[in-house]
Chain A
């Protein structure tokens, strides 16, 4: 090394300066672009809230219905004269689907989560988990097809000999299919939580002589309860927002009934039915889409927030 090489230049040559300046500029530009992308996701929410909010307001202005009468009115007849907008039948239909599918999906989902996390040998697990994921990836229209053309005929074949009338469109087959659709969601979310329960807890229980059943139901399940509850809430929210399966299977007769073998209408089916019809832009019927959409959005939003609240505040923390 010659002494000349050790000498550092007192001032960088001008080319470096330009280079550096360009690089700083480029860095800022890219940073701002990426920030814009992130903000765009927030704008989607703002857009949803603004669109639904503004059109809902206009709906209430045009029809002069109070929001209370809208939510509790028992007759829905948007094409009548005068048109009647009481969405209680829609809320009822939505609740029927959500409760009906949960009755069936939540226990099955939970049991399969327990099986996957506690009982399944590794090889069985490595086969079952991807299968469940595959089931979750099947498009909802396929479930709708299945409800209408497989489940309903099966119900008919089963119940008609007993003198029970099953309508072509009925709530029960929609409930069954929506239930099957949300099982993978319940089981994979719950399984994540149950597997995360520390081994030490299980081993302590086994050491005290507990059987596998007792460990699963009295140790692991209580420890993961908040996560399981959060998964249940999310699944119910998914059932409420489900559209295609219900459109094809449950039909579109807005009525408040406890008979699961007749047609009902949910909030989502109403939206599809009106959008597919001839409602003029700006008419009360067109605007009612957004009012119903707002109710649907708020219902699912509350459930989603509740789910995260449950997860965060009731979590058992183990070191």
Chain B
């Protein structure tokens, strides 16, 4: 009898520990969600409490006023006065960078992934490249900035080859940065294509490249697109390497072409955030909302494209 009560009390205690632990785990998970909410909330309120010499709208939380404010921010250049501060040059620069990264990193990244998954025989070269990509993905982004500074901006001091602090240098640096991400995502998408598809095509006499072009790539396309858009959104949000390769200066103009100087949206946010005048905090918050909106649009595009192609592949 005493044994029975001992057992019961212990079981009760064990269950209680379990319940407490479960609640602790749940709360730990919730911190992430809570932080995200606080983050967005505080950025929005800060953007709405806009600079004092700015025409003030009192409706905090009014989406329409906020949108108007953000659009006006997106249209302005100057940053010496709070009321005139805006992100036009940065947005243009970021879009240019996005275009350059798309043209460099995606073909090379997808090409490398196709080679590794479809052509390369398992051997020394493949092992080297595998290890290498895994390591590259862990290199801090600022180290890529140093690479870009030495190779693209200065060309080791060789004047004729040096690109200077131009969009070319920024775009190439970011391309190297996202290359491992594109390769890893594409390889995963290629691996998800069933082997039988390749065998059937090869059995009918198609060459390796024909198999890849006509069968593997089309059915891996949704996965590849999702992965590459995520990689591109990483490039858009990246700040540290751009500070190394020339975007730090306060360029006020929209770049005319890839060989002109530039600044980028996150770099401008950084510049405004570190201004000692607290009125600039609202401007920085507005920039963050523009950046988040851009990233959200890209991610939504990724999801839409994936869904659409997935339907096509099934029918």
Tell me the A residues contacting B by CB distance below 8 Å: 23, 26-27, 30-31, 33-42, 44-45, 47-48, 51-52, 55, 107-109, 111-112, 114-116, 118-120, 128, 131-132, 134-135, 137-142, 144-146, 148-150, 180, 183-184, 187, 211-214, 216-217, 234, 237-238, 240-244, 247-248, 268, 271-272, 275-276, 281-282, 289-290, 293, 296-297, 300-301, 303-305, 308
Q: How far is the CB of B188 from chain A (nearest CB, A)?
A: 13
* Interface pair B281/A40, CB less than 8 Å apart: no
Q: Are B285 and A140 in contact (CB under 8 A)?
A: no
Q: How far is the CB of B159 from chain A (nearest CB, A)?
A: 11
Known: A107-B28, A213-B22. A31 touches B209 (CB 8 A): yes
Is B146's CB under 8 angstroms from A293's CB?
yes
Chain A nearest Cβ from B224, distance in angstroms: 14
Min CB–CB distance B13 → chain A (angstroms): 10
The reply to whether A213 and B17 form a contact with Cβ atoms under 8 Å apart is yes
Q: Which of B103-123 contact A (CB under 8 A)?
A: 107-109, 111-112, 114-116, 119-120
Contact between A244 and B22 (Cβ–Cβ < 8 Å)?
A: no
- A153–B39 CA distance with the chains assembled, in angstroms: 14
CB contact list, B232-270 vs A, under 8 A: 233-234, 236-240, 243-244, 248, 266, 269-270
**List of A residues within 8 angstroms of B111 by Cβ:** 33-34, 36-38
Taken residue by residue from 94 to 110, chain B's Cβ proximity to chain A (1 for < 8 Å, 0 otherwise) reads as 00000000000001110
The distance in angstroms between the C-alpha atoms of A196 and B299, with both chains bound, is 28
Q: For residue A46, which residue of chain B has the nearest CB? A: B132
A-B contact pairs, 20 of them (CB 8 A): A26-B209, A34-B119, A36-B111, A40-B108, A40-B179, A41-B180, A47-B151, A51-B150, A115-B28, A115-B29, A141-B239, A141-B269, A144-B273, A148-B274, A213-B14, A238-B138, A271-B145, A272-B240, A282-B157, A297-B139
Bound complex: CA of A243 vs CA of B180, how far in Å? 20
**B140:A300 contact, CB within 8 angstroms:** yes
Complex CA gap A234/B135 in Å reads 11
A12 CB → nearest B CB, Å: 14
Check if B119 sits within 8 Å of A31, measured CB to CB. yes
Contacting pair A137 B21 (CB below 8 A): no
For A134, the chain B residues whose CB sits under 8 A away are 36
Verify B112–A111 contact, CB threshold 8 A: no
Decide if B78 is an interface residue (CB 8 Å cutoff).
Answer: no
Contact status A38-B120, CB under 8 Å = yes
Q: Which among A44, A128, A241 is the interface contact of B142 at CB below 8 angstroms?
A: A241
A-B pairs, top 9 by smallest CB distance, nearest first, are A241-B140, A139-B237, A213-B18, A37-B111, A115-B25, A111-B28, A34-B115, A112-B29, A243-B240
Complex Cα spacing A52 to B133, Å: 18
Please tell me if the beta carbons of B21 and A213 are within 8 angstroms of each other in the complex.
yes
CB pair B281–A149 under 8 Å, yes or no, is yes
In the complex, how many residues of chain B place their beta carbon closer than 8 angstroms to a beta carbon of chain A? Answer: 84
Chain B neighbourhood of A115, CB < 8 A: 22, 25-26, 28-29
- Given contacts A37-B108, A112-B32, A213-B22, are A301 and B135 in contact (CB under 8 A)? yes
Contact B299 A137 (CB under 8 A): yes
B146 with A301: CB separation less than 8 A: no
Neighbour of A304 across the interface among B116, B135, B236, CB < 8 A: B135
Q: Is the CB of B240 within 8 A of A268?
A: yes
Q: Which residues from A are CB-within-8-Å of B299? A: 137
A140 & B239 in contact (Cβ 8 Å cutoff): yes
Stretch from B64-72, B190-198, B287-295 that touches the partner? B287-295
Question: Is B183 at the interface (CB under 8 A from chain A)?
Answer: yes
Q: How far is the CA of A217 from the CA of B24 in the complex (A)?
A: 13
Asked whether, in the complex, the Cβ of A148 is within 8 Å of the Cβ of B140, the reply is no
